[in-house]
A and B are shown apart, each in its own frame.
Chain A
Amino acid sequence: MKKLTAAMVAVAGVAFATSASAATLDDVKAKGHIQCGVSQGLPGFSNADDAGKWTGLDVDLCRAVAAAVFGDANAVKFTPLSAKQRFTAIASGEVDILSRNTTWTMTRDTQLGLNFAGVNYYDGQGMMVPTSLGVTSATELDGANICTNTGTTTELNITDFFRANGMSFNLVAFEKADEVVAAYDAGRCDVYTTDRSGLAAQRGKLTAPDAHMVLSEIISKEPLGPVVRQGDDQWFNIVRWSLNAMINAEEMGITSENVNATQYNDVTPNVARLVGKEGNFGEELGLSNDWAYNIISQVGNYAESYEANVTPLGLARGVNALWSDGGILYAAPIR
């Protein structure tokens, strides 16, 4: 019933919210913080520690936006959302940014009244199986029981994969990731499927992580990124360029440690524009010109965020390396 009530509150939210909510930046400034929708606990992306402090790649993005808007990366409050609740929460204005390992798809872009402001992690759906099953390829999984969670693209991808290969399967779909892990761990399913980053993150929760293996097949493209409401281009730009600033900073070699030096040293024109010494880029966004400087000094560049959060899961940069390093991470220039 709790979930039902939450959904109804969300519906009521759409009914009561007045049209004035279009200017998210003004609303955010008025309340003094950014409300950021995150996952209910996915190590590396958004996870709360014992003290209630949130960390992760997705969390850093919200902190970056807060740094850009307020000059204070801690002016963020987090709302943990299930996969099912997330779109209603952002659409109804309960959160200002949805930064919750959310896959960018056409349906979501066109039908949900939402916009994806970029991609902060290129993922793909994978499958984990117990090594005792003796399976080496996903094409051997005919008739398997598969555990996953509801309200995600994973349900559709796995269905597509099995249909395309002419195989049958039985899907057991839970509402929260914790129950999926518990049920898979108990042996309810032969396969646990979700994004590969999620598999790496959740694997640590199993009783015997070494007794399981991730199959090599990647069955889908999962570009994960931050989501904002449609119809507020200014806010959309702020979120998009906060992410671009982090990626550009990595490309230019600017980190939280050396960004301070850029203020009094001679720098290249590119860097000067990024840190606000040249041009008027911050004000064009409706912010101050040191917006990106604040992001880099308080949150760090993309590489710093990645290494602090995702690398410990054992996930190498791979496709998430910069385009200049052989990956596909490519941010539009600030000029």
Chain B
Amino acid sequence: MQQSSLKSIIYDARLRGYFYQVFILGCLAFGLWWLIDNTVTNLADRGKTVGFGFLTENAGFQISSTLGTWLFDYKVGQSSYLDVYFIGIANTFLVAVLGIAGATVLGFTVGIMRLSKNFIIRSFATVYIELLRNIPLLLQLFFWYFAVLRALPSKRDKIEIIPDVVAMNITGLYLPAPVIEPGFIYSVIAFVFAIIITLVMKSWAQKRQFETGQRFPVLWTALGLIIGLTMLTFWITGSPMNWSYPEFKMTGAILRRGFQSGSGMVLVPEMLAVWLALTLYTAAFIAEIVRAGILAVAKGQTEAAYSIGMRPGMTLRLIIIPQALRVIIPPLTSQYLNLTKNSSLAVAIAYPELVSIFAGTALNQVGKEIEMIFMMMMVYLTFSVATAAFMNWFNARVKLVER
């Protein structure tokens, strides 16, 4: 009797299941403990402490002026390592967002070009895709950076893109910078207000069209409202914004010639090269995704659209693309995530993003590898999860509604 009850416990599938689960959990906990304990012991052996106290210390190095240093008003000797962290995040974020925007526009264009009936357009797109997606990104980065540097005029010279307004030389692309004065906020409020009215108007117009069949010129009214209302407010409040134009000197000491710092806005060539490389590289992948998405829409859909008298452009916009998006969005999300992570390669060409200034310069001064690499991984994780969450939401909106 005793024997058989023990046996039944051993062969009880449920109990056995619990046993293995507890066993694996135990192993996992032990492994984790071993790893952490080992790290702490090894660090203590080498006289290193663990902690985030270094973040409030002052950073004693200069950072190339970019969006980040402007946003966080970086001052050597006064700004902390936490500021360096935020500057790195801002700069990474900037190229990621610009890169995603650029790669999407270019990728969709090239993808559609690849399906063109015109031989030249189609071949151009094919060559573009095969060339750019088959060369490692790091090499492209070096190529664009040094190609751009070598092609541009020297620091004491310039090429003017729009005379006295936009110009470029080896130290960067110079643009006018907005100088905002108090009172500008009213124009911003007017702009937001106009957008809200437009949204309300759009849903009203849609409802009326469903009920009466009458159409309302939403686009023109909206444009008039948004531009008109904002400009009117801007004018009434006394134009509270000016432009600071880049100032170029051709006389004086040789070192001081060229664009003067503190005037206008400069986009450094490192940033332009990173943006260019990320955009061109990722666009090649996006183009293929777009082509696949369009080809996935059955030919009958196009024929049906033509048979009710739609023109090719309209067919593409109203019939093909909405259906293609269902196929495009999921792999497109992956490309966006790749682009964000690839931006860390910018460290190679001196663009001060997160890996360069925080995990590079700052890490070398402070020596807290574990804490700093952890903080950096959290940033990329957050960026990626946020992008994925947004794209999943968008995907849920466009995906096939099954009835």
Contacts and interface: CB of A to CB of B under 8 A. Distances in A.
Interface stretch (A132-140, A198-206, A216-224, A237-245): A132-140
Interface stretch (B35-43, B100-108, B180-188, B326-334): B35-43
A117 to B, nearest CB: 15
Interface string B150-165: 1000110000000000
Contact of A87 (B270, B349, B364): B364
Given A87-B364, A145-B171, A112 B348 contact: no
Given A112-B48, A229-B46, A173 B352 contact: yes
B254 interface: yes
B360 A175 contact: yes
A145 B366 CA distance: 26
Nearest to A4: B344
Best-buried of B42, B65, B150, B171 by chain A (most CB within 10 Å): B42
A108 to B, nearest CB: 8
Given A15-B38, A15-B39, A182-B146, A173 B48 contact: no
Interface in A36-76: none
A335 B377 CA distance: 52
B348 A188 contact: no
Contacts of A7: 359, 369, 373
Given A7-B373, A22-B45, A230-B46, A174 B348 contact: yes
A31 to B, nearest CB: 20
A181 to B, nearest CB: 12
A211 B338 CA distance: 43
Contacts, number: 170
Nearest to B360: A150
A188 B170 contact: yes
Interface residues of A, number: 67
B348 A179 contact: yes
Contacts of B357: 150
B16 to A, nearest CB: 33
Interface in A166-206: 168-176, 179, 182-183, 186-188, 190
Given A172-B270, A175-B348, A176-B348, A11 B370 contact: yes
B82 interface: no
B62 interface: yes
Contact of B364 (A84, A142, A230): A84
B269 interface: yes
A1 B344 contact: yes
A84 B60 contact: no
A183 to B, nearest CB: 7
A267 interface: no
A113 B46 contact: yes
B255 A140 contact: yes
B361 A190 contact: no
B209 interface: no
Residues of B in contact with A, size category:
35 or more
Contact of A150 (B48, B170, B364): B364
Contacts of A88: 369
Contact of B349 (A22, A152, A174): A174
Nearest to B270: A172
Given A156-B365, A159-B60, A170-B64, A141 B349 contact: no
Contact of A187 (B43, B48, B149, B356): B149
A182 B63 CA distance: 20
Given A163-B77, A186-B146, A190-B255, A83 B364 contact: yes
B244 interface: no
B221 interface: no
B360 A151 contact: yes
B223 interface: no
B63 A171 contact: yes
Nearest to B54: A111
A252 interface: no
A91 interface: yes
A1 B345 contact: yes
A135 B256 CA distance: 11
B373 A173 contact: no
Contact of B355 (A4, A10, A174, A179): A4
Interface in B74-94: 76-77
Interface string B361-403: 1011111011001001100000000000000000000000000
B107 to A, nearest CB: 21
B342 interface: yes
B361 A173 contact: yes
B72 interface: no
Contacts of B267: none
A155 B47 contact: no
25 contacts: A3-B344, A11-B369, A14-B39, A14-B43, A15-B35, A19-B42, A19-B45, A134-B255, A142-B256, A143-B255, A150-B360, A158-B62, A159-B61, A160-B60, A169-B62, A172-B268, A173-B352, A175-B347, A176-B348, A179-B349, A182-B146, A186-B170, A188-B171, A230-B47, A231-B46
Lowest 8 CB-CB distances: which A-B pairs, in order?
A: A113-B46, A171-B62, A151-B364, A186-B149, A112-B367, A155-B61, A113-B48, A150-B360
Given A169-B62, A175-B348, A183-B146, 6 more contacts: A7-B359, A14-B43, A84-B364, A111-B366, A170-B65, A172-B64
